[in-house]
Amino acid sequence: MIDEKLSKRQLILGVILAVMYFLGLFSILLIRPVMGILNHVFIWQPEQQNRMALMLNSLIYIGVIIGFRRFYKQAIQDFGQYWVRNMLWMVWGLCLIIIIGSMLIPTLISIFHPITKSVNEVDLRAMLSSYPFIFTVNVVWIGPVIEELVYRVTIYRTIRRKSRLLAYLISSFLFGFQHVYRAVVFQSNYNEMWNVFSYMAAGLIFAYLYEKRKNILVPIGAHMFSNGLSVLLYFLS
């Protein structure tokens, strides 16, 4: 079993966070209304509006992280006891993501369907091009912390109490589908479902790291390394 402890309040907040994050309700219920009010007060260009929306999004997630500060404080203390081994597991996780998620899975998919860049990746590159600093902060630091809190701490841990296999499958599928569902649901781009397997592979690897090391900072670190490498390669290209 996973040793890290969540209070009942944190577990409830985690479930609410998971639902709101997956369905994009933070944008619908919080960011859009606030931006609507601000747009009546200030005269902003579309680029300024987008930048402010990104900043609001970041502040909301930072607030969520602060709400789990005791949980993360304990994770940091536990991480420090075996920090060398934990760092090695992070690097091992990154290697698995590169080999399996970026090389093996796309190669296997290409047998059945032409390889195309995911809509999520295209959108991320566009945002990095327009807002390099704030979006890099979101993608490399804030995003991994929030996603691991949602998919590993909340969803994986909760289902893990009943079945480890189901916990792996459900948490990784939801993690993968969350990266493609906007294109599938709102754009009817069903070819995008082929890209879910690479994201699922990453989700499985993050859950595997969490299961093995029993410390959420290990999959968070691997997630940050993976996203950071993608951002670095984008800026170098």
4-23 confidence digits (pLDDT tens):
667 777 778 888 888 888 87
What is the C-alpha to C-alpha distance for residues 63 and 177, in angstroms, rounded to an integer? 25
| 2 in a structural domain | no
Q: pLDDT-derived band of residue 1, with 50, 70 and 90 as boundaries?
A: low
What is the C-alpha to C-alpha distance for residues 152 and 68, in angstroms, rounded to an integer? 14
Model pLDDT for residues 132-157, shown as the tens digit of each residue = 999 999 999 999 999 999 999 999 99
Q: pLDDT-derived band of residue 47, with 50, 70 and 90 as boundaries?
A: confident
| 161 in a structural domain | yes
| 78 in a structural domain | yes
| 180 in a structural domain | yes
What is the C-alpha to C-alpha distance for residues 19 and 33, in angstroms, rounded to an integer? 19
Nearest to 100 by CA among 208, 182, 233, 174: 208
Rg of the Cα atoms in the chain: 18
How many separate domains does the chain show?
A: 1
| 103 in a structural domain | yes
| 3 in a structural domain | no
Residue 18 structural domain: 8-236
- What lies within 8 Å, CB to CB, of 146 at 6+ separation is 17, 21, 61, 64, 65
User: Is the pTM above the cut of 0.85?
Assistant: yes
| 1 in a structural domain | no
**CB–CB of 168/206 below 8 Å?**
no
> Which two three-digit tokens encode residue 16?
């609410």
| 49 in a structural domain | yes
Determine the distance from the C-alpha atom of residue 95 to the mean position of all C-alpha atoms in its chain, rounded to a whole number: 18
